[in-house]
Chain A
Amino acid sequence: MVEFLYGIEVVINGLMAGVMYSLVALGFVLIFKASGIFNYAQGVMALFAAMTLVGVQEGQVPFAHLINSVFGTQYHHFGWHINAFVAIAVAALVMLLFAYLVERYILKHLVNQEPIILFMATIGLAYFMEGFGDLMWGSNIKTLDVGIPQGGNFWIEEKTAFLGGEDFYGFYLDTLDIYATVIAIILVSTLVLFSQYTKTGRALRAVADDHQAALSVGISLRRIWVIVWSIAGIVALVAGIMWGSKSGVQFSLSLIALKALPVLMLGGFTSIPGAIIGGLIIGIGEKLFEFLIGAPFLGGATENWFAYMLALLFLVFRPQGLFGEKIIERV
């Protein structure tokens, strides 16, 4: 009985881990759909957004190191501590500005180039942002606390304790994961409603389908790209907040992008529902695999590679992913 309950707990925890993966994958899908660009910088965007958030919240002086070494000053902190909501708003504004600059100084000059060129540009962008973020906020490991409680949720544990009968087995769920799930659901629903029911959403979908046709009905590609990168920036901020709260704001945060790759292969690069379902499948899959096969038979630590193996299988049998557009070349 306890085994079974633990299994359910594993699935629920997997679901919530999956939501976190989905959050990152979502940023990729948004940009890929609208511009055919695989945005290598998505992970670094999450890192940069989280760094900015911490910096603003803690009242750090941006470029402090640079300023001090040039002018021989000793500025480090403004000496204030800003409310989390205000700091999030400021970080969001920074991401909007970032989207505008990307369009203005990179994409605008690369219109009609091959996808591989654009991909290379995003690699460059990723490394630039990484260095720029370090220069702006310092490369030390920061803790992010926007007031989301962390650790096991006692309420759920108490309320579910009766399930285990005499063993008093209650579900152990991380409060942060629960928050992340709720926020992700709100975010995704908003995005879906926006893209289905507004004029701009329709224009976004049109651009995703056919650039030329979109131009011919009066849609400005550049405006749409700014909007798409802005949304991707906000999604990166949300992912950065969630992952940053969980494991600290540091360089390895940008590597969560790698975890999004198998999610994309599963769900398809062009589908928002695909990113969600793909993330959930990988989240549940890796936790269950570890629980049922990995830990008892393979010596554990299967979570590191399970997702990639699953993605490989998908590449062999269903290369377009679960929800991707089927690739049919008419001859």
Chain B
Amino acid sequence: MTVSQDAAVQETITPDGRTIGGVLMEMRNITLRFGGVVAIEDISFDIRQGEIRAIIGPNGAGKSSMLNVINGFYHPQDGEVWYKGAIRGPMRPHQIAAQGIARTFQNIALFHGMSTLDNIMTGRLTHMKTGMLSQSVWFGRAQREETENRAFAERIIDFLEIQSIRKTPVGRLPYGLQKRVELGRALAAEPSLLLLDEPMAGMNVEEKEDMSRFILDVNDEFGTTIALIEHDMGVVMDLADRVVVMDYGRKIGDGSPEEVRNNKAVIDAYLGVSSD
């Protein structure tokens, strides 16, 4: 991995004993416009190896647009995206996925007709090397590869405690479980950077607690770097190492949850500015 040279210098230990490494991804002066509407205006921030980085802000602040820039659905008009120490040229989403960036969606985007297992197996696609022809004709290597990937998918299934719904078409699952399967599909790619778009939206308290635990465990056990968008401030403060706050497409705060909580601009954006 080509983390920048000063990675070692920047290495820090969190209060709960995890190691945060050097910069994994850096957004430099990103501006994204749709026609005359400015969705993101001149935003810069970085995501460091092994941390949980939250992006928060009111509705319409441009959080999801930012995630879409990171995984290549949107291409910013201005600014640079640096990933693993190199500037990233214009790439298509599937190429970016192959570079180790996986994501989940705000409105779950699962393959509804397929089983839980098949959904998670699609997450392994970037790790499958055999071509279409050898898959159809030459069963030796293709089959071995399928078995290996299947074993990995089973590990994810165990980890997320969804063994009992392995064969169920995901369209039939309740919302909370669908969210978990979607997380599983993203994890199956063994991503370097995991993007979660409102992983807890629409969940009840119990489901939120489960999901929080999984996110922390993923970060802890696999050392996966996570960038997440979340509305629930309580959850963000508990989970995140650092928080970016956005409002109307601009960055109004950046720092530890503690710093952000006491930032006046952030309080204003969330609670409204008093008129006097």
Contact = CB atoms under 8 A, between A and B. Distances in A.
Nearest to A330: B175
Given A194-B136, A198-B132, A200-B132, A206 B122 contact: yes
Contact of A217 (B142, B146, B189): B189
26 contacts: A198-B135, A198-B142, A199-B125, A199-B132, A202-B118, A202-B121, A203-B125, A205-B114, A209-B111, A210-B110, A210-B112, A212-B105, A214-B111, A215-B92, A215-B94, A215-B97, A216-B102, A216-B109, A217-B123, A218-B95, A218-B125, A218-B126, A218-B189, A220-B94, A221-B94, A325-B113
Interface residues of A, number: 23
B255 interface: no
B132 A209 contact: no
Nearest to A203: B125
B111 A213 contact: yes
A71 to B, nearest CB: 41
B105 A213 contact: yes
Interface of A: 194, 198-200, 202-203, 205-206, 208-210, 212-221, 227, 325
Interface of B: 71, 73, 92-95, 97-98, 102-103, 105, 109-114, 118, 121-123, 125-126, 128, 130, 132, 135-136, 142, 146, 185-186, 189
What DSSP secondary structure best describes chain A's contact surface? helix
Contact of B111 (A205, A215, A227): A205
A213 B118 CA distance: 13
Contact of A216 (B97, B112, B121): B97
Contacts of A216: 71, 93, 97, 102-103, 105, 109, 186
B143 to A, nearest CB: 9
Nearest to A227: B132
A143 B244 CA distance: 71
Given A206-B114, A210-B109, 13 more contacts: A194-B136, A199-B146, A200-B135, A205-B111, A206-B122, A208-B113, A212-B73, A213-B110, A214-B122, A216-B103, A217-B126, A218-B189, A219-B125
A200 B98 CA distance: 16
Nearest to A205: B114
A221 B128 CA distance: 17
A215 B125 contact: no
Nearest to A211: B109
Contacts of A227: 132
Contacts of A203: 122, 125
Nearest to A221: B94
The 7 closest A-B pairs by CB, nearest first: A218-B97, A213-B109, A209-B111, A215-B93, A218-B126, A198-B135, A200-B132
B114 A217 contact: no
Contacts of B73: 212, 215
Contacts of B94: 215, 218-221
A213 B73 CA distance: 11
A206 B111 contact: yes
B105 A202 contact: no
Contacts of B121: 202
A149 B105 CA distance: 56
Contacts of A208: 113
B119 to A, nearest CB: 8
Nearest to B119: A206
A209 B181 CA distance: 15
A217 B125 contact: yes
Contacts of B97: 215-218
